[in-house]
Amino acid sequence: MIQRMNWRQGLSVSVTLIGMLAVWQLICVLFAVPAYLLPTPLDIGSRLISDGDVLLRHTGITLFEIVAGFGLSVLFGIPAAVIIVYSRYFSQAVFPLLIGLQCVPMISIAPLLITWLGFGMITQVVIAFLIAFFPIIVSAVVGLKSMEKEMNMLAMSLRASKLQIFLYFRLPRALPSIFGGFKVGITLSVVGAVVAEFVSSDRGLGYLQLVANAKLDITMQFCVIVMLAVIGLVLYNLVGLIERIALPWYRASRGGE
């Protein structure tokens, strides 16, 4: 049943995408839209093939920045969430400051990071990390605080230690929320890496799009957008796959949704 639903969903997405591309192609042809304003899907597909080596080289750089920034956000975000949940001081004093920092546009912090860290990949990774960090820590805090009082009383009645309560009760209850934060964080890491390449890089898809924009190469800009969309979809679904493998009980409790 689940396989049938996945097959139907994949077919629906494919048909919708093909229909949108066909309408796009038809509009460009019927209204003779200039390629320097809106290239056709066939033009973009042809450019993806002809300049595939260049796009793949820059994609590899951007992908490394995304994965590294996301990995750091997970590495620091989950322990920070645990500290916030178990420490009243961090919950009342530090967590509101993190929320305030998140309200500051990351593009305004980028020049400071360039001054401190230099013009290079470290800056891009740090920016991707900072953008992905907040949704991960918030989702983890919400999930870790979602354990019901009855469940906590049950664990205490079983004479479970604090570590056992965390490992066997609180953490499993929080994992769906944590993975939700991972899904948001991985997509925001894509945004962070591209924004960082706009301001402090001489390589990567963001840099390639800036070069294409300077040359009024609209087709290449669309090619970069396509590559970024593919990266985002692949990474998002990869996180979803890990979630399904790690949390089979959660999927079963939702009827295989």
Whole-angstrom distance, CA of residue 48 vs CA of residue 165 = 52
pLDDT at 51: 93
Measured distance CA(196)–CA(61) in Å, rounded: 12
Q: Compute the distance between CA of residue 121 and CA of residue 202 in angstroms, rounded to an integer.
A: 10
Q: Residue 1's pLDDT is what?
A: 47
State the chain's mean pLDDT as an integer: 87
Q: What is the maximum alpha-carbon separation in the chain?
A: 75
3-state secondary structure of 70: helix
CATH 3.40.109.10 for domain 40-253:
no
Per-residue pLDDT tens over the stretch 175-208: 999 999 999 999 999 998 998 888 877 889 999 9
Q: Which residue has the higher pLDDT, 74 or 256?
A: 74
DSSP 179-233: HHHHHHHHHHHHHHHHHHHHHH-SSSHHHHHHHHHHTT-HHHHHHHHHHHHHHHH
- Measured CA to CA, the distance from residue 137 to residue 168 in angstroms comes to 20
183 and 234 Cβ atoms separated by less than 8 Å: no
Q: Is the pLDDT of residue 255 over 70?
A: no
For 199-241, write each residue's pLDDT tens digit.
Answer: 877 889 999 999 999 998 999 999 999 999 999 999 999 999 9
> With b meaning 16 or more CB within 10 Å and e meaning fewer, what string describes 6-35?
eeeeeeeeeeeeeeeeeebeeebeeeeeee
2 vs 62, residue with greater confidence: 62
Instruction: Return d(Cα 144, Cα 149) in angstroms, integer.
Output: 12
- Section 136-149 average pLDDT: 89
d(CA 254, CA 244) in angstroms, rounded, equals 12
Is a pLDDT exceeding 90 seen at residue 147?
no
To the nearest whole percent, how much of the chain has pLDDT over 90?
A: 49
**How many Å apart are CA 242 and CA 199, to the nearest integer?**
33
Sketch the domain layout of the chain as residue ranges. 40-253
The answer to whether residues 219 and 44 touch, using CB atoms and an 8 Å cutoff, is yes
Confidence band for 125, pLDDT divided at 50, 70 and 90? very high
Structure token digits, residue 216: 């009024």
Cα–Cα distance measured from residue 139 to residue 149, given in angstroms and rounded to the nearest whole number: 20
The 10s digit of each residue's pLDDT in 7-31 is: 677 778 888 889 999 999 999 999 8
Using alpha carbons, select from 203, 185, 202 the residue that is nearest to residue 130.
185
Of residues 167 and 102, which shows the higher confidence score?
A: 167
Whether 102 shows a pLDDT value over 80: the answer reads no
